[in-house]
Amino acid sequence: MIKQYRLKHKLSQEELAEEIGISTRHLQRLEHNEENTRVSTFKKIVKSLSIPDDEIVKFIKK
């Protein structure tokens, strides 16, 4: 989900990671569901990419 929205907003991993204050590697792991993150970081991602609430609920239920 994160990667889809990042690409929709035409952002590179480096650009999004810098914008939300995490490392590019951490973002890569999140995009591949290899790592969990803090709620505060997830909220920054959601806000930055304007992810709709229904998409967030689907993602969390997985």
pLDDT band for position 13 (cuts 50, 70, 90): very high
pLDDT, tens digit, 9 for 90 and up, residues 34-62: 888 899 999 999 999 999 999 888 877 76
Q: What is the mean pLDDT of residues 24-28?
A: 96
Question: Is the confidence at residue 10, as pLDDT, over 80?
Answer: yes
- H-assigned helices in 1-62: 2-8, 13-20, 24-31, 39-49, 53-61
Question: Is the confidence at residue 11, as pLDDT, over 80?
Answer: yes
Q: CATH number, domain at 33?
A: 1.10.260.40
- From 49, 59, 58, select the one nearest 8 (Cα to Cα): 49
Q: Which domain holds residue 57?
A: 2-61
pTM of this prediction? Answer: 0.83
Question: Is the confidence at residue 15, as pLDDT, over 80?
Answer: yes
Count up the domains in the chain and report the number: 1
